Amino acid sequence: MKQLSDCSAVILCGGKSLRMGFDKALLQVNGEYVLLKMVQQLEQLFPKVLLVTNDRQKFPPTFQQAAIIEDHYSEKGPLGGLVTALEQLETSHLFLMACDIPQFSVPLIEEMALYIYTHEVVICQQESRLEPLFAFYHRSCLPIFLKQLATDDWRIRKEFAQFSVKKIPLKDSYGLNNVNTPEELVFWQ
């Protein structure tokens, strides 16, 4: 596995977790924080992994080694977190994912990375649905996303027609299911 030197990973962990009933970013399985395990996995691929959150104070001391930044646009949904990350970006690309994807595939990320130098957005597609919270974004996307923040439509995919987008169809072996309710916690076991 080769590290992607000109790309940072960003995990969005500032959602409200209303359906779950507790903050998913602080979920523990067998006494370990799932989010920290995700960081460790991503550190194998990326030189820098950032957590974007609505409140950095919510994290216990166990997270002191993690790079945590606060969302500058916390009331603008995931788009606000993405724009915050792009503004802080020290590399030309970032890989964005949500903190509630229990089973993500490193080989899938590596496959997606093959297209980052020819496309501004590289995104997974499950059937007809795009997965904007499991995608690569080039820093050139920032001005368009910044303008979009001023509108009432914060869907990340809304402005994709303005970008060069590569869609990676998901194979059956790759599952990108978000865990949103207590009943779905079995996916993290």
Q: pLDDT tens-digit profile of 10-40?
A: 999 976 554 545 577 788 778 888 889 999 9
Q: Give the range of the structural domain holding residue 107, as residue numbers without chain letter.
A: 7-188
In-domain check, residue 2: no
In-domain check, residue 134: yes
From 146, 180, 150, 173, select the one nearest 162 (Cα to Cα): 146
Q: pLDDT tens-digit profile of 76-95?
A: 999 999 999 999 999 999 99
DSSP 175: -
In-domain check, residue 1: no
CATH code of residue 119: 3.90.550.10
Strands 121-126 and 165-169, bridge-based pairing: parallel
Note the pTM of the prediction, 2 decimals.
0.89
CA dihedral in degrees (155, 110, 15, 54; nearest 10)? Answer: -100
Structural domains in the chain (count): 1
Say how far apart CA 43 and CA 7 lie, in whole Å: 11
